[in-house]
Amino acid sequence: MLRKALSTALVSTVVATGALAGDLVSKTSPHSVSDTMDRLEAAVTGAGATVFARVDHAAGAASVDMELRPTQMLMFGNPKLGTPAMLENQTAGLDLPLRVVVYADAEGVVHVAYHAPKALADAHGLPADAKYIGMMTGALDKLTGKAVSAE
């Protein structure tokens, strides 16, 4: 019985991981990780959203004598968009506020990545056509677009 439960859990984890990976949106940036993140943070605050955290994963790695290419995460949100999702299903709070990671790959190319809000809807049984899902999708595209724009 324990073996069956573990097998089911493993299959569920693999399926969930695959689903999330399929909903990953990625853009490249002509700027450094730090500059891209500064631009993203400015776009977020300029749009009236709240930045809850900016995490420098490379600095965290360095604090335990490990090396990680430049990698930063920004956690931000707007209660006007997140609260309706949580009113439909409070488990959406596991994936809110929204998060965007900016990192440099092995070749030095800078990427901006985030989960499409559709993944939030799928994971928490929210209506995919909910107005707030569409607004989150548009906001993430616009904000990350500002972060990676050449201007």
Annotate the chain with three-state secondary structure.
CHHHHHHHHHHHHHHHHHHHHHCEEEEEECCCHHHHHHHHHHHHHHCCCEEEEEEEHHHHHHCCCCCCCCEEEEEEECHHHHHHHHHHCHHHHHCCCEEEEEEECCCCCEEEEEECHHHHHHHHCCCCCCHHHHHHHHHHHHHHHHHHCCC
How high is the pLDDT of residue 42? 98
CA pair distance 137, 125, nearest whole angstrom: 17
How high is the pLDDT of residue 9? 40
pTM for the full model?
0.84
Question: In this structure, which topology does domain 24-148 adopt according to CATH?
Answer: TATA-Binding Protein (3.30.310)
How high is the pLDDT of residue 151? 84
How high is the pLDDT of residue 17? 40
The pLDDT tens digits along the chain (151 residues) read 444 443 444 434 434 444 445 699 999 999 999 999 999 999 999 999 999 999 999 999 999 999 999 999 999 999 999 999 999 999 999 999 999 999 999 999 999 999 999 999 999 999 999 999 999 999 999 999 999 999 8
How high is the pLDDT of residue 14? 39
